[in-house]
Structure formats: C-alpha cells, structure tokens
Amino acid sequence: MRKSILTLFAIGMTMQIFAQKIELSVGANSGLFHYSGNYATPVSYINEGQTGNQNYTNNPYGSKNGFSYGGDVQAQYVSKSGFITGLQAGYEVLRSQVAINSYHPYYLLIPFYNIAEPSYQTPVKSQTYLQNQDINVNPYIGYRLQIKKIKIDLMPGVDIGFNISSYDKGKATGTDGTVYRTDLKRPDAPTDVRLKFAVAAYYKKWGLTAGYAHGLKNYVSGNTYINNTEVAEVAHSELLRFGLIYRIL
C-alpha cells in the first residue's frame, strides 16, 4: 500500500514538474501575403466566363500584398537552458492582390468556319484577390532570451499549409459605372512548405509575435518566354505575420 502511494506521489510530482516546462498558448494574427517569381504579376485583367458567374482573373497570382488573418494554438517545451521545441497548428485565410486594368468579354467561336468574333476590351479599375483557406502546421525549434521581465522566444521552423479551398474573388468598375465581379472556386492549391522565422515577446501571460515565411512550393506549372528564352513559370508564396498571443498554461 505504501509503495503504491509513493509511486502515485512520484508520478504526480513528475507530471507537475514536467507541466511547468510545457507552455500552451492561443493566438490570433494578421499579415500580408503575396506571390513572388516570374509568373507573379502586379496587374492582370478579368475574363468573362462562358456562363454566368464564371468570370475569372486571367492571372490571379498577385505580387501585391493582400490582407490575411488566422488563429492558432501552440504548445512548446522550454528547457532550463532556454532551448525550445514546439508546434503550432491553426487556420488561416491568405489573400494575394492583383490590380485589374480591363475586362475581356467572352468571344463566340464558330467551329464550322473557325471564325471568332472580336473580343473588345473594356477599361476598368480595381483589384481581385486569390484567397486560400489553409490549415497550417508549424513545427519549430528555438531559444528563449530573458531581458528583465520580458521573455523573447526566437523560433525558426517550417510552415506546412494544407489547402481547404481556393477562390478568385473581387470586382472592377468600368468607366460607365458597370461592375464586373469574380467569385470563382479554383482548383485547390498545392500543399505548401514555407521556411519560417518568428519571434515572440512575452510579458507575463501576454505576448506579441512577428514572423516571415518564404514558400518553397511552385504554385503553377508551365513555361513562358523571358528575353526570347523559354523558362519555367514560377510563383512562390511570401507571408509576413503579426499577432497577439496568450499563454493559458
């Protein structure tokens, strides 16, 4: 009986000591997201779809930043020497932006004669967004610095973004006031892998976070010509995050 009580006491003490080194937090973030590479573009145009509600951005991979946001939970182990191992998991909406300068009506192709009606471009002004909804998983390692009452965590790691859906969204207004919209579901984006560096500064249970992530996955496939040389089309993700975090354990 005594041995059982001592064993349970030892297990309880071990769990309590271990729990003191485990930190569990919840956070919310916003940020700026865009694509880089030779296929990413600051300007594109809207094409009219063959049927209603099928308008689409000709090249939606915008090199302009779009407002993004998300939330996550984080668990990390902090050793006595300050080394950190941790894992974040959360939901994000990532949006890149492209300026729109024209609207291209759909032209009718007559198969028998192989003759097409001219496609007249309508000047417009506005922007569209390529919006990805992702489940993001971020394993990381790092180190904690203590500066008086402020704890600073340095956290290099990897983002793995599992896409839920991808939409081409936006609108543009013509010179005559006509509004042209896009709200088209696109094929799901590939699972993205991004190299990430983040930092968090805590005072007691509250903290501020900032991070940058560079994508390794190419979102497009195909070839284009640059200076009369055929090269692969490339569009990688780039993400800058800022957030607020609260430690609940």
- Give 99-130 pLDDT, tens digit per residue: 998 888 876 444 544 444 445 566 677 899 99
Q: What is the SS3 assignment for 3?
A: helix
Determine, yes or no, domain membership for 2: no
Determine, yes or no, domain membership for 81: yes
pLDDT digits (tens, 9 = 90+) for 179-195: 888 999 999 999 999 99
Determine, yes or no, domain membership for 158: yes
- Answer whether 77's CB lies under 8 Å from 19's CB: no
Determine, yes or no, domain membership for 55: yes
Look up the CATH number of the domain holding residue 76. 2.40.160.20
Q: What is the DSSP letter of 62?
A: B
The reported pTM is 0.84
Name the residue type at position 219.
Y
pLDDT digits (tens, 9 = 90+) for 213-237: 999 999 998 776 666 677 889 999 9
Alpha helices by DSSP H, the chain: 2-21
Instruction: Give 10's pLDDT tier (boundaries 50, 70, 90).
Output: very low
Contacts of 223 (CB under 8 A, 6+ apart): 230, 231, 232, 233
Q: Number of folded domains in the chain?
A: 1
Domain extent for 207: 23-247
pLDDT digits (tens, 9 = 90+) for 23-65: 999 999 999 999 999 999 999 999 888 776 789 999 999 999 9
Determine, yes or no, domain membership for 16: no
